[in-house]
């Protein structure tokens, strides 16, 4: 099993955990295949099957990419590859690009929000929010709409909890 730094693993997971618990539905992934994050002390580590880790090392793939993904999207992928999957953004707000995934009554009810590295143009962060939809991509076996308790069961209890600011406006 190959491990990555807890700091790097937590970068994508922390904001996503709140988003995933928005709409309640039962956890569907009981037997999740690797790679996936596992609790490691005060953070997380990316658990990768040895064969996949060996293959990634031989081909020069950054090991962290194996777990830093939501569905087909992953941190570090080229913007052109992400937009090949998502299409063109519907909205750009400063450095955030919004891509509709599910539309109902003319409104995006599920969407992906990506940011890109200023220096390389590669995907820097990924957030998927809204209602579950047919593709229903997962992060670490967790899908949109799962309950907070299902997220805690998968990733463990948070070390601290605090309220964030209410954000007014719309995308």
Q: Is residue 103 part of a domain?
A: yes
Residues of the domain holding 14 = 6-155
Q: Is 132 a member of any domain?
A: yes
On whether residue 102 sits in a domain, the answer given is yes
Mapping DSSP to helix (H, G, I), strand (E, B) and coil, where does residue 109 land? Answer: strand
Task: Please give the tally of structural domains in the chain.
Answer: 1
Average pLDDT across the chain, whole number: 78
Alpha helices in 60-109 (DSSP H): 79-86
Q: How far apart are CA 63 and CA 77, in angstroms?
A: 13
Residues 6+ apart with CB under 8 A from 144: 19, 20, 22, 23, 110, 128, 129, 130, 131, 132, 133, 136
Asked if residue 163 is part of any domain, the answer here is no
Q: Over the stretch 134-151, which tens digit does the pLDDT of each residue have? A: 888 999 889 998 999 999
Q: Does residue 69 sit within a domain? A: yes
Contact 101, 136 (CB under 8 A): no
Q: Record the tokens describing residue 171, joined without a space.
A: 């995308």
Residue 111 lies in a domain: yes
Give tens-digit pLDDT for 83-110. 999 999 999 988 899 999 988 888 889 9
- Residue 156 has a pLDDT of 87
Q: pLDDT tens across 48-78, in order?
A: 888 888 888 888 877 777 889 999 999 999 9
pTM (predicted TM-score): 0.70
CATH, residue 125: 3.30.1450.10
Instruction: Say if 31 falls within a structural domain.
Output: yes
pLDDT grade for 120, boundaries at 50, 70 and 90: very high
């Amino acid at each position: 099993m190959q491990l990555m730094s807890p700091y790097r693993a937590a970068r994508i997971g922390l904001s996503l955990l709140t988003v995933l618990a928005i709409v309640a539905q039962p956890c569907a992934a009981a037997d999740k295949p690797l790679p996936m994050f596992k609790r490691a002390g005060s953070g997380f580590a990316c658990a990768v099957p040895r064969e996949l880790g060996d293959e990634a090392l031989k081909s020069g793939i950054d090991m962290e990419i194996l777990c830093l993904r939501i569905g087909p999207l992953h941190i570090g992928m080229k913007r052109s590859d992400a937009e090949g999957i998502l299409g063109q953004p519907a909205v750009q707000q400063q450095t955030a690009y919004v891509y509709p995934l599910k539309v109902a009554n003319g409104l995006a009810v599920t969407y992906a929000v990506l940011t890109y590295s200023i220096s390389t143009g590669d995907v820097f962060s990924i957030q998927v929010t809204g209602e579950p939809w047919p593709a229903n991509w997962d992060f670490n076996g967790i899908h949109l709409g799962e309950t907070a308790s299902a997220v805690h069961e998968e990733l463990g209890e948070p070390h601290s909890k605090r309220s964030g600011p209410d954000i007014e406006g719309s995308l």
